[in-house]
Structure 1
Amino acid sequence: MTNKDSRPFWTFLVGQTSSAFGTSFTSFALPLLVYRITGSSFLMASTVAVAFLPYMLFGPLAGVLADRLDRKRVMITADVARAALLLSLPVVASSSTRPAVILAAFAFIETAFEMLHAAASDAVVPTLADPQDILKFNARLSVADSIASVLGPVSAALLISVTSLETLFRIDSATFLISAIAVLTIRVKLTGRKMRSSIPDDSPSRWSETVAGFRFIWRNRLFRSKALMDGSLNFFGANVYTQLIFIVKDHLGLPDSAFGWFEAGAALTGIVTATLAVRLSRRVSFTILILALPVVQGLMAVTIGSSRIWQLSLVAWSIYSGTLGLSFLIGVELRQRYVPGEMLGRVQAAQRTLTWSTIPLGVLSGGLALNYVAVGPFIAAIGVTICVIAGMFAWASPLRRATALRDALEPLPEDHPTV
């Protein structure tokens, strides 16, 4: 058994937590800015749809770059680029005659760099942790992220009464620079090994390298089925977060600052679920976890859409977000534990491409539907649909035997070189 020095991980965690704190400011400010400028649920959906287009267009390329290049440089470049982007956004948006277009362009470019950073950072964790500690280290990252995401919206909600939205973007810009500096100080080599396909290929090429992550997922029944379920759930479920500002403002009739409290409540639940992740994975069947969590999310969406009691909606939204985060954490740990390190970046990027590429069409369809139905009943209907999808996969897909499929996989040996 190896015992890796934990100091590089804690440095990495500081950087990730810093950027998470700043990102929570933008997560608060951007929807509010779109709401103030347009007041349109469809334009809100359009902004979110544009933000997820990079996963459709560049997702596989991000994975290749994360496996081929120095992952430290990839993360630093992405952090610095996002810092510059956020710093310039208030100036450009305020001087433009078409601010909605500027905001959509910002969302697209920012997501492209976020996607690149995520592909590299996901592949870095197995480098910093022993295999048996991967879930624990991911849980620590998730807890730190959630703590930052609690403090961020609360701070933003308090600051919005005494400062401008532009200041919130500038704070986020500064936190990305802190993240870049933290990554720069890590002394562990984070470079992906010279790429070799883990799936035999008679004619290796850059194209085969790019699609290797997709082939890895598609040829594994567990990974394939989970990707199909997650993509289906995201098509509908992404509307819950996309229209949250309209739930808060129009359905519940709350002030701007309340949006920050909803964001903070979600992050607080994320702390609880991330803290319990390791314990749950040991005591609850893997099959039950991945199939029951979407049902809980669906029931919470029904509650959000049908209730006009803001306290109940806040609790339901917090549980919805917490279980969604737990589902994501379980999926990431599964891939980090069973995917060879030299192609982990490509597999993680392929997973995001497969499951998040459904979001643009889903939220655009939802935005159009909201021209004919109120946001409350719409979200409630989304919740029912999520429960139905989870039930269908539990009944008619290999996921009903997810635990057996996972146990049949060969975990990476504890001395497996992940870089």
Structure 2
Amino acid sequence: MRWYWYLTGVVVSGFGTTAMWLVSGIWVKSLTGSDSLAALASFALWAPVLLGPLLGTLADRVRRRPLLVVLNLAMACLLPLLLWVESADRVWLLFAVLVLYGAQGSVHDAAEQALMASVVDEDRLGTFNGLRMTANESMKLIAPLVAAGLFAAYGGGPVALLDAVTFAVAA
């Protein structure tokens, strides 16, 4: 039954993450009018992946389950800071959070993969990973619609809060 709760966390977290990834560039563009800065938002999210091997070693040095919980709770606490991003002069805060978001994602992915390999039986690991990937990828179909609608109606802050809630639920 534990796998059910884990997959629920993957679905919820995947939904929030996809929503935030989509909205971050749009948010920057709407505040600054700059296509270059909007593209930089995506770069800020993905740049920490370049340090993935270094960041991933953290997952090898500590207990993985508590690490995943702490990472999710840290993002749940960090994302509400984005409510202060209401003008172009505060876009720097969005970029800073996006870099931390990307770094958290690198550590989280490494810890998650290592934990699953040690918890799930080897003969069921392929099936489990298939379910996990299906759950995660299916959120990429639903989240953009919700995120775009939420952003259009209320701006980026509520999307950041939605993502914070998904991280808290996943923790």
Give the TM-score band, short-chain normalised.
0.7 to 0.9
Sequence identity percentage: 28
Query: How far did residue 124 of structure 1 move?
Result: 1.6
Q: Does 1:81 align with 2:74?
A: yes
**8 A Cα contact 1:25 1:153, kept in partner:** yes
Which position in structure 2 is the counterpart of 1:115?
Answer: 106
Q: Does 1:64 align with 2:76?
A: no
Which position in structure 2 is the counterpart of 1:45?
Answer: 39
CA distance in 1, matches of 2:137, 2:7: 12
SS in 2 for 1:15: helix
Out of 123, 143, 147, the residue aligned to residue 152 of structure 1 is 143
Q: Report the AA paired with residue 88 of structure 1.
A: L
Q: Does 1:177 align with 2:168?
A: yes
Query: How far did residue 49 of structure 1 move?
Result: 2.5
CA distance in 2, matches of 1:122, 1:157: 30
Which position in structure 2 is the counterpart of 1:99?
Answer: 90
CA distance in 2, matches of 1:147, 1:106: 25
Query: How far did residue 105 of structure 1 move?
Result: 1.3
Out of 128, 141, 148, the residue aligned to residue 132 of structure 2 is 141
Q: Report the AA paired with residue 101 of structure 1.
A: W
Cα-to-partner distance string for 1:93-134 (whole Å, 9 max, x where unaligned): 22x662332222121111111111111001122223222332
Q: Does 1:54 align with 2:48?
A: yes
Which position in structure 2 is the counterpart of 1:381?
Answer: none
Aligned-residue RMSD, C-alpha: 2.0
Q: Report the AA paired with residue 132 of structure 1.
A: D
Q: Report the AA paired with residue 62 of structure 2.
A: L
**8 A Cα contact 2:12 2:170, kept in partner:** yes
Query: Measured at CA, do residues 116 and 34 of structure 1 come closer, stay the same or move farther in structure 2, by a change above 3 Å?
Result: same
| Matched ranges for 1:194-233 at <5 A | none
The structure whose RCO (Cα within 8 Å, separation 6+) is larger is 2
**8 A Cα contact 1:74 1:120, kept in partner:** yes
**8 A Cα contact 1:17 1:148, kept in partner:** yes
**8 A Cα contact 1:85 1:110, kept in partner:** no
Query: How far did residue 161 of structure 1 move?
Result: 4.4
CA distance in 1, matches of 2:43, 2:140: 23
Query: How far did residue 173 of structure 1 move?
Result: 0.4
Consecutive unaligned residues of structure 2, counting only runs of 5 or more, are none
Query: Measured at CA, do residues 77 and 25 of structure 1 come closer, stay the same or move farther in structure 2, by a change above 3 Å?
Result: same
CA distance in 1, matches of 2:42, 2:113: 23
With normalisation by structure 2, the TM-score equals: 0.88
Consecutive unaligned residues of structure 1, counting only runs of 5 or more, are 1-6, 181-419
| Matched ranges for 1:258-297 at <5 A | none
Aligned length in residues: 171
With normalisation by structure 1, the TM-score equals: 0.38
Which has a greater percent of helix? 2
Cα-to-partner distance string for 1:197-244 (whole Å, 9 max, x where unaligned): xxxxxxxxxxxxxxxxxxxxxxxxxxxxxxxxxxxxxxxxxxxxxxxx
Q: Report the AA paired with residue 23 of structure 1.
A: T
Out of 17, 20, 43, the residue aligned to residue 26 of structure 1 is 20
Q: Report the AA paired with residue 74 of structure 2.
A: A
Out of 6, 10, 17, the residue aligned to residue 16 of structure 1 is 10
